Amino acid sequence: MFTAKDLQQIKKKGIAPETVEKQIDHFKKGFPFINLVAPATKKKGLHCYSETEAAGLAAYFDEHFADYELLKFVPASGAASRMFKALFEFMETWQGTPEDKEKFEADKSFNSPYNFFVNIRKFAFYKKLKKTLEDAGYSLDSLVEKKDFKTILEYFLTGKGMGYAQLPKGLLLFHDYEDEPRLAVEEHLVEGAHYATDKKGVTRLHLTVSPDHLQKFENAVATKKGKYEKKYEVTFDISFSQQKPSTDTVAVDMNNEPFRDDDGTILFRPGGHGALIENLNDLNGEIVFIKNIDNVVPDRLKGETYLYKKVIGGLLMKLQEKNFEYLEMLEDGNVSKEERQEIREFAEKELNIFFPAAYDGYDDMEQVDFLYNKMNRPMRVCGMVKNEGEPGGGPFWVTDENDNLSLQIVESSQINFDDPKQKEIVSRSTHFNPVDLVCGVRDFKGEQFDLKEYVDPETGFISIKSKNGKALKAQELPGLWNGAMADWITVFVETPLITFNPVKTINDLLRPQHQ
């Protein structure tokens, strides 16, 4: 299938030819749909805590966090360009004709250009945009009044001015404060200072960024971190990484042959956020909080965010502590029948570990081995918010090809909606995943797990794209909190809706939670 030149290209990326062949095989066969058994709901795979219970778990975190190496992991490579889709289309077509003005006034929906311009003073970037236009000899207010929207957008979105559409989300001004507006990445510094600081006062943050934006991120963090170090009396240890070229995936044409650029080379594309399991695996963390770059709120709303970070963190610490005790007993091997029963109840009830019917027929050592292998895995506690119609992955009980039952975060692309049973299970789902995770990535001996061993390679997905006017198929690796963590011990906790405030469009910054 591959020429000598192809093999050289593949080797240069650090990918094994067999990996590329497997990817092409996935294009031919497709990925199987996931088999949903039931939604994870209250008392059936989802913990819902009272205020008193939540406060107790948060207090446990406060009492024990000093014993751990904490890290906040922020996927931050996403470009902001999709946030501005409606404004770009508007800029391309706006001529200021009476018809244009009539159309502009007619659509006052939340994500409309009308809503953007009427509320332009409410955005955290307003003063910067105003200054950018003044430097070019324009008045923002008079441009709005004259409905010269094209000029405003050119200086806002393109390299002619602020170049916002070319920036990653992390480097956009999200929230306004009395002293100055804050970038999204600054809000993560503030958050990290409150729940990812160790006993030495060091706050560790790791951001995954694209190579194009690394320098800008480094500059922004270097400029801003001193202010927050002084304010919160911490020292920031901030590191960056990029998706590895070895995690890129091959693109194919509609006949499942490698898609080739005009120069004959094979087209490879980034493998999606699932590639970041490699980045996470390279870090020397112990307890790792994961949160997306755009899911932040201003200080006035952060209290509940901090509380529930500590709730899921405290629960992870408690579960892990008990789990490690049992693993030490199991490693010793001399475990009585009563002790094995006690361990089984903990594994089933607290860690959601599935026990096959055959387990009861195992001899003593087979039971010990089963318990040890099932409990000696990375652990994650995931916040889940009530489903109010937002898109996103949800918590479900699923079975694999061997009928093993487990809890998973499932994306809609993994579900066969043509199957009435699967569709009905989805309709009973009550919660979805806001990407609010805390992970335990070391074993009971303090050694790092190799996270790549716990990925389900059958959970990637395929999409149709195009390049140079030609259709192609692209493949994404199993998602970071989906298939990439499929074989982790998984616990779900209900968290309040205020912990989920993503910014998918620029007008989302007009929502009360971002003002």
Three-class DSSP category at 81: helix
Distance in angstroms (rounded) separating the CA atoms of residues 456 and 245: 20
Distance in angstroms (rounded) separating the CA atoms of residues 5 and 67: 52
Q: Could you give the C-alpha distances from 377 to 74, 104, 258, 447, 477, in angstroms and in order?
A: 23, 55, 37, 11, 21
Tell me what pLDDT residue 334 has.
87
- Tell me, what amino acid is at 394? G
Report yes or no: 492 and 40 within 8 Å, Cβ to Cβ: yes
Mark residue 431 as left, alpha or beta (left: phi above 0; alpha: psi -120 to 50; beta: remaining). Answer: beta
Distance in angstroms (rounded) separating the CA atoms of residues 131 and 139: 9
Tell me what pLDDT residue 38 has.
95
Q: Beta 489-494 vs 45-47: how paired, if at all? A: parallel
Helix boundaries (H) for 171-301: 184-195, 214-232, 276-282
Mark residue 147 as left, alpha or beta (left: phi above 0; alpha: psi -120 to 50; beta: remaining). Answer: left
Spell out, as residue ranges, where the chain has pLDDT lower than 70.
389-392
Tell me what pLDDT residue 390 has.
61
User: Which residues fall within 8 angstroms of residue 485, CB to CB, at 6 or more apart?
Assistant: 277, 378, 380, 409, 454, 455
Three-class DSSP category at 21: helix
Tokens of 90: 């508007």
CA 312 to chain centroid: 16
Exposure string over 31-50, b if 16+ CB within 10 A, otherwise e: beebbbeebbbeeebbbebe
Tell me what pLDDT residue 391 has.
56
Report yes or no: 331 and 365 within 8 Å, Cβ to Cβ: no
State the residue for tokens 């997905």. 461
Distance in angstroms (rounded) separating the CA atoms of residues 184 and 188: 7
- Tell me, what amino acid is at 413? S
DSSP assignment, residue 477? P
Distance in angstroms (rounded) separating the CA atoms of residues 432 and 426: 11
User: Which residues fall within 8 angstroms of residue 313, CB to CB, at 6 or more apart?
Assistant: 61, 65, 195, 287, 289, 381, 438
Report yes or no: 383 and 308 within 8 Å, Cβ to Cβ: yes
For 143-180, the DSSP string reads: HHHTT-HHHHHHHHHSTTTT-GGGSBGGGSEEE--SS-
> Closest Cα partner for 514 from 261, 182, 96, 36?
182
> Closest Cα partner for 331 from 375, 372, 378, 377?
372
Could you read off the pLDDT of 68-98 as tens digits, one per residue? 999 999 999 877 888 999 999 999 999 999 9
Tell me what pLDDT residue 284 has.
84
> Closest Cα partner for 413 from 258, 274, 210?
274
Tokens of 249: 């995936």
Structural element, H or E, at residue 254? none
Tell me what pLDDT residue 392 has.
62
